[in-house]
Amino acid sequence: MERCPICGLGYVPGYLPDAARHRREHDEFVHGVSAKPLRDECIIFQDSTLRITVVSPFSSLIQRRRVERIARRANRETQYDFGLYGATEAGNRELDTHALVGHRNDRAIALLFIQRGTRVWVAKWASNGDFDEPTWIESDGPRWTIGFVWVLGRYRRQGLAQQMITEAAKFARLPVNALGWYTPFTDAGKALARLSHF
């Protein structure tokens, strides 16, 4: 058994099914999940280098399954101990979960989840870069909240995450700094959330 130092997959090199699986997963880890255009996809942004689609709880199952696969890829880096998205989860409709998927060269290279949260907690950023103890407040209704943002490693630090957030805000018809954020944060996620509120 070997473990790839890049994609982290454990496999037996001399065992053909294992080697084939490693080639496939390594390719997706480095270049993004294969995601050719679908006839029923909903495009909310497109230019010469990027296409952003939105997948709702009522989108086709093939679209939701694709998001599920992209979410599994993204979670391999964050390593949260919970799943990010299930194509058939009832909670997607309850929270009105929408996935924004960023595509480049028919690969999924960015993912953002936005949901309508019903509980609102407010916290202020502290001088040490963290945030103070949150306080629960009464809310006049569900609030659009960013639950997760991810960009493929090779495309980071190019403004792509911020562009995904901007498109999410346009979709929600809100200013960027009016979007809520779910915790926990990675260090990079914390920096992105702070940037988005100034």
Q: What are the angstrom distances between the C-alpha of 78 and each of 73, 100, 154? A: 10, 18, 16
Q: For the whole model, what pTM was predicted? A: 0.85
Residue pLDDT tens, the chain, 198 long: 889 888 888 888 888 887 888 889 899 999 999 999 999 999 999 999 999 999 999 999 999 999 999 999 998 887 666 778 999 999 999 999 999 999 999 999 999 999 987 766 566 555 555 555 555 555 666 788 898 999 999 999 999 999 999 999 999 999 998 888 776 666 676 667 666 654
Strands (DSSP E) contained in the chain are 2-3, 10-11, 33-34, 42-46, 51-55, 98-104, 107-117, 120-122, 135-137, 143-151, 180-181
Grouping H, G, I as helix, E, B as strand and the rest as coil, residue 12 is: coil
**Which fold is adopted by the domain 34-196?**
Aminopeptidase (3.40.630)
Instruction: Calculate ∠ Cα 166-32-54, nearest 5°.
Output: 40
Half-sphere exposure of 150 (CA within 13 A, CB side): 25
Q: According to CATH, where is 3.40.630.30 located in the chain?
A: 34-196
